[in-house]
Amino acid sequence: MTQDQDPRSLATPDRQLLMDRSVPGRRGVRLPDLDVPAEPLPDASLLRDDLPLPELSQPEVVRYFTRLSQLNYSIDTQFYPLGSCTMKYNPKINDQVASLPGMANLHPLAPPEAAQGALKLMHRLQTYLCEASGMSAASLATLAGAQGELAGVLMIRAYHRSRDDAARRVMLIPDSAHGTNPASAAMAGFEVVSIPSDSRGNMDLAALRKAAGPGLAGLMLTLPSTLGLFETSILEVCEAVHHAGGLVYGDGANMNALLGQAKFGDLGFDVIHINLHKTFSTPHGGGGPGAGPVCAGPRLAPFLPAPVVEEDASTSSGSYRLATPPQSIGKVGAFHGNFGVLVRAYAYIRSLGGEGLRAVSEDAVLNANYLQARLRDDYDLACERLCMHEVVLSANRQKKQGVKGLDIAKRLLDYGFHAPTMYFPLIVDEALMIEPTETESKETLDAFADAMLSIAKEAEETPDVVRNAPHTTSVSRLDEARAARQPDLRWRPRPLG
């Protein structure tokens, strides 16, 4: 953490650094008496005595680290409306199932006959994900959403190559797509062409048709888009791309908006990825682990990454085995994917069932629209229409009063809420992208809406309070550019005194 202020200057007793609490001679543990022959210490020249280590009692160490842990913000403590990230509550039973010794201790190199249960679970999960998405085959090998995207566009590339049609190099991406989409397409060697959105937040169909020429490899479409909207012309969009000989990739990271309502396969998508760590229950944030399974329709199924799990009743070593699809793009990681995340998704799907999964999307969409209804008079909306799982506001009105989206996000911290995603999607000025998720109660949504409304009022009446926020957090406004460029991640010893 880099900050303008030295954290020691904030020192109340519980904010002092560990080193500052050191008292010479104090100790937290006592080693047992030696019960093996003593060995002489190494050459004294190899020993250092200038390393200032803190000397503390055990309770002081416990308090220090417990206090630090309490500074953490998490979905298990507070509301976390970070748009596009689906920071929802994940039932603990899913973690418990993933921690069962048979799941957690299985060695990735165990022979298939010793891992039939795990393979069966993976096979079933492939089937469930295909059922939920309307696709025909799945690979669980990819380890994140963005990696699922990369695998998906590599499959599109391999498909065109397999037909001696490798001149197709253009990947169309609407300007309302998730930022990882153009990055994945570029990594796979495609030329990215952006398609603008129309005033209602849909893709501009005329621009799409114009761009869909003979060099078209495909289209990557985030559904719902990062405006939190369903693409209402989706059938025409897929039709136009297919007509030009391209394939359609679907970014299904936010499938909590669609579960049980619409299937990617029915809409015309050829390949999609799903974020198990968003929609299907794995606590995430802080970088992992995740899983971004790829699901393909009939044309792209042969190109799925390896391995996939197949059922084969005729072998003697058990019914389930790992297989490589015939024209596979190959392996995308070590072993067979993030197994613990797969187990959590399986447990989540089995405990909710079809009806429960449909209720997920109903509640996710209802909650976002409830916030939209409560906030629409005091904030500008990115688009005036029903939203899906998230609502994108613009702080344009507040900006005219001298309060930016960033200031509002910081002020929310004073009210005890994590900030929403900010300044994304890029096509909305002063964007505040709010995803309440399906697991929040009406009381929590109301408390958040009340905070947003009172910040809108402050922006009008006492803008400085918002501009200088946060006021109640342990550190105030950080120099974010410096924090990103010169992150200070390691404690370094410094002389005492």
CA distance 375 to 373: 6
Extract the tokens encoding 465: 């309070």
CA distance 104 to 99: 5
CB of 304 to ligand PLP, least distance (A): 18
Cβ atoms of 215 and 194 closer than 8 Å: no
How many residues line the site for ligand PLP (CB under 6 A)? 13
Choose among 312, 457, 289: nearest CA to 375: 457
Extract the tokens encoding 102: 């048979």
CB of 287 to ligand PLP, least distance (A): 9
Selected range binding ligand PLP among 88-96, 144-152, 327-335, 346-354, rule: CB under 6 A: 144-152
* Binding residues among 71-90 for ligand PLP as defined by CB under 6 A: 84
Beta strand pairing call for 247-252 and 271-274? parallel
CA distance 418 to 75: 9
Distances (CA, A) of 165 to 155, 159, 243, 272: 14, 8, 15, 22
Q: Which of 174, 201, 265, 290 binds ligand PLP (CB under 6 A)?
A: 290
Q: Which of 142, 202, 275, 439 binds ligand PLP (CB under 6 A)?
A: 275
Taking residue 64's Cβ as centre, other Cβ atoms within 10 Å add up to: 17
Nearer to ligand PLP, 144 or 216 (CB): 144
Q: Which of 144, 171, 308, 412 binds ligand PLP (CB under 6 A)?
A: 144
Q: Which of 56, 115, 119, 146 binds ligand PLP (CB under 6 A)?
A: 146
Cβ atoms of 261 and 255 closer than 8 Å: no
CB of 111 to ligand PLP, least distance (A): 31
Cβ atoms of 329 and 261 closer than 8 Å: no
Q: Which residue is nearest to ligand PLP (CB)?
A: 145
Distances (CA, A) of 283 to 75, 208, 288, 419: 9, 37, 8, 18
| Identity of the amino acid at 434 | I
CB of 292 to ligand PLP, least distance (A): 6
Cβ atoms of 368 and 390 closer than 8 Å: yes
CB of 276 to ligand PLP, least distance (A): 9
Q: Is 171 helix (H, G, I), strand (E, B) or coil?
A: strand
CA distance 80 to 279: 15
By CB under 6 A, residue 174 contacts ligand PLP: no
What one-character-per-residue DSSP string does 77-93 give? TS---BTTS------HH
Nearer to ligand PLP, 222 or 437 (CB): 222
Q: Which of 142, 180, 282, 394 binds ligand PLP (CB under 6 A)?
A: 180
By CB under 6 A, residue 338 contacts ligand PLP: no
Distances (CA, A) of 37 to 31, 47, 212: 15, 21, 79
Nearer to ligand PLP, 115 or 237 (CB): 237
Selected range binding ligand PLP among 143-151, 189-197, 368-376, 480-488, rule: CB under 6 A: 143-151
CB of 277 to ligand PLP, least distance (A): 6
* Binding residues among 231-270 for ligand PLP as defined by CB under 6 A: 251, 253-254
Nearer to ligand PLP, 390 or 458 (CB): 390
CA distance 21 to 13: 9
CB of 60 to ligand PLP, least distance (A): 38
Residue 32 gets which letter from DSSP?
Answer: P
CB of 225 to ligand PLP, least distance (A): 9
Nearer to ligand PLP, 183 or 207 (CB): 183
CB of 13 to ligand PLP, least distance (A): 39
Selected range binding ligand PLP among 140-148, 163-171, 227-235, 402-410, rule: CB under 6 A: 140-148
By CB under 6 A, residue 292 contacts ligand PLP: yes
* Binding residues among 183-222 for ligand PLP as defined by CB under 6 A: 222
Residue 295 is inside which H or E element, if any? Answer: strand 294-296
Q: Which residues bind ligand PLP (CB under 6 A)?
A: 84, 144-146, 178, 180, 222, 251, 253-254, 275, 290, 292
